[in-house]
Amino acid sequence: MTADIIDGKAFAASVRERVGKQVAKLQAENGLTPGLAVVLVGEDPASLVYVRNKGKSTQEAGMKSEEIRLEASASQEEVLAVVNRLNADPTIHGILVQLPLPDQVDEMAILDAINPEKDVDGFHVINTGRQAVGLPAMVPCTPLGCLMMLQDKLGDLSGLNAVVVGRSNIVGKPMASLLLAQSCTVTIAHSRTRDLPAVCRGADILVAAVGRPEMIRGDWVKPGAAVIDVGINRIEKEDGKTKLVGDVCFSEASEVAGAITPVPGGVGPMTIACLLANTVTAACRQAGIEEPAV
């Protein structure tokens, strides 16, 4: 093994600790308790786990946490009514509607209804646009967590070749936009990309967000590159038990890369930590106060 392992779990713990201190300061000095509401429609098992973890971490950071559960059969109007109520609630500074939503609910219409100032997911087109042109915006949590780990490892990213594999609205596109804002030369690769291994081999920074277990092999990685694996895939082992793997073949890539995130324990923990940080940012902006330095 040659690569440094980027410890997302430890990094996330340090971010959560900082957020906890910020919350304590806001409460003591401004009488402000940031509040985060998470809306879950239906019973998707993975979403249930995520939502429970988000609620727990929010409370641990000293913030107000509200969880709203709706039946899988909920109508678009019912979901919209919840979003509108939360938009109007002054004790709630962040709203997250867990995706995916059931088929009868129009995802874009729901995301569009969230007050952009409370959009801690950063999925509203206003935040997407503001981030793209360099205005203050809420930034999607997973790409933000990836960027923080890259900057921590590499320092200035300016001029580096970054390849983002995957073009989703949640990860691929905002990740590319954030890297461009750091003056990387950015390529977004996807399922139609020709000679994907060769494209990946040009990357100083390789971000994998495709949802295909271990698709990116060791010989796709440029020696010394920083590899960020956003994938979380559950696969069956030979003994019938299951395990989590990323979109990168870790055993191969870690022999070639300079630094790499493991799965689990890499990107995943950073996402929730960034959600908490975004909630503090949103609360401060809504209250018209500076984010406390701690």
Catalytic positions: 54, 98, 121
In this chain, which residue has its C-beta nearest to ligand GUN?
A: 99
| Residues that bind ligand GUN in the complex, under the rule CB under 6 A | 96-99, 121, 141-142, 170
CA distance 291 to 174: 23
Measured from the CB of residue 157, what is the shortest distance to ligand GUN in angstroms? 22
Decide if 224 contacts 202 (C-beta within 8 A): no
How buried is 48 (Cβ within 10 angstroms: 0-12 exposed, 13-18 middle, 19+ buried)?
Answer: middle
Nearer to ligand GUN, 99 or 181 (CB): 99
Nearer to ligand GUN, 139 or 150 (CB): 139
Measured from the CB of residue 275, what is the shortest distance to ligand GUN in angstroms? 8
- 214: which 2 tokens? 């271990």
Measured from the CB of residue 294, what is the shortest distance to ligand GUN in angstroms? 25
How buried is 247 (Cβ within 10 angstroms: 0-12 exposed, 13-18 middle, 19+ buried)?
Answer: buried
Nearer to ligand GUN, 24 or 99 (CB): 99
Measured from the CB of residue 45, what is the shortest distance to ligand GUN in angstroms? 13
Nearer to ligand GUN, 121 or 204 (CB): 121
Closest CA to 102 of 43, 151, 55, 167: 43
Can you tell me which residue has the tokens 């990387």? 184
